[in-house]
Amino acid sequence: MAIDFQQDIYELNLHYLMVLQRVAQNDVAEAAMRFGIDAKTAEAVCDASIRELQTVASGVVAMISARPLLQELTSRNPVDRVDRLRAGAILRSISTPDR
């Protein structure tokens, strides 16, 4: 018996789009950088209505994918893996000055 994850994927996509929209409303460039998308896409999501976000979220696949940092979880050396994860967390926490 197959399990249908469509509702879970919809909710994941919608939440992703709503967070993206909230970040883009504050700063489009930051949203583009944080979500790994181009500024034009961030602007489109920023200007979208909730109905439009719901329509886009209703696709059959998840809109997000694992970033390279998550691939470190499969590293063969656990000590090296932890060091890389910590380095990645530190680098992500560094904010750049506004331009």
- Does the domain at residues 1-64 carry the CATH identifier 1.10.4000.10? yes
- 5 near 62, Cβ under 8 Å? no
Name the helix (H) or strand (E) containing 11. helix 6-26
Higher pLDDT, 3 or 99: 3
- 65 near 78, Cβ under 8 Å? no
Q: How far apart are CA 54 and CA 36, in angstroms?
A: 21
What pLDDT is recorded for position 68?
64
Q: How far apart are CA 1 and CA 69, in angstroms?
A: 34
- What are the domain boundaries of the chain? 1-64, 65-98
What pLDDT is recorded for position 1?
53
- 73 near 66, Cβ under 8 Å? no
What pLDDT is recorded for position 38?
92
What pLDDT is recorded for position 76?
59
What pLDDT is recorded for position 86?
72
C-beta atoms surrounding 6 within 10 Å: 10
Please compute the mean of the pLDDT values over residues 75-99 and round it to a whole number.
62
